[in-house]
Amino acid sequence: MPTAKTGTLTTRTSDTAGVATLEAGHGIIVSDVVDVYWTGGRRYNVNVTAVNVNDVTFSGGTGDILPAQSTALTMMKQKTIDTDFVGNLLVAIGALCAARAHISFYETATLRLAVDLTANELWFWVNGGTAANPLAGASVTHIVASQAGTVEASLKIGALYNSA
């Protein structure tokens, strides 16, 4: 995963909107969908509504309410991973990232599962356990992912699939 861009929440308009002043060369543009991370919280599926050099205006998304103004944060444009599988046929699925991260499984435009990953801690589901299949009934078309770290971090997603 590429690095997240560092910055500060310079304006807090509401619990879900504000302006982040990011590092130079951040590469984020209007209409990007980003994930925002700070110590103790995160918002994902956030819409970038304006960019003025290093000031990125954003709103919406899901997750924690924004922290206090002047809080340090990181922001990353979501990366799309093309995939195609039927959730009902999963035998097992798991994900691991070297940094704090977030992954979302989609069926076309519908979010079917959102998972927060703790750095270096495996998230998984295995058929036959006590938990229900988190992707039952879904035909997953793509996964979007981001990470909070300021260095590149490996993200691994694996699935065991019964196609018989």
- What would the two tokens of residue 150 be? 């300021």
Give the pLDDT band (50/70/90) at residue 163. Answer: confident
CATH of the domain at 28: 2.40.10
- What pLDDT is stored for residue 31 in this prediction? 97
| 34 & 98 share domain | no
| 93 & 143 share domain | yes
Count of domains in the chain?
Answer: 2
Distance CA 117, CA 98 (A): 9
pLDDT digits (tens, 9 = 90+) for 84-100: 999 999 999 999 999 99
Phi then psi for 75, rounded to 5 degrees? -135, 135
| 89 & 150 share domain | yes
As beta bridge partners, residue 19 has 11, 57
Give the pLDDT band (50/70/90) at residue 21. Answer: very high
pLDDT digits (tens, 9 = 90+) for 98-138: 999 999 999 999 999 999 999 999 999 999 888 999 999 99
| 63 & 119 share domain | no
- What pLDDT is stored for residue 56 in this prediction? 98
| 40 & 110 share domain | no
| 73 & 100 share domain | no
CATH of the domain at 94: 2.60.40
pLDDT, mean over the chain: 96
- What pLDDT is stored for residue 129 in this prediction? 86
Domain boundary among 77, 97, 123: 77
Domain that holds residue 138: 80-161
| 84 & 154 share domain | yes
pTM: 0.93
Distance CA 119, CA 107 (A): 26
| 72 & 90 share domain | no
pLDDT digits (tens, 9 = 90+) for 22-81: 999 999 999 999 999 999 999 999 999 999 999 999 999 999 999 999 999 999 999 999
Residue 3 and residue 152 in contact, taking contact as beta carbons nearer than 8 Å:
yes
| 19 & 70 share domain | yes
| 157 & 127 share domain | yes
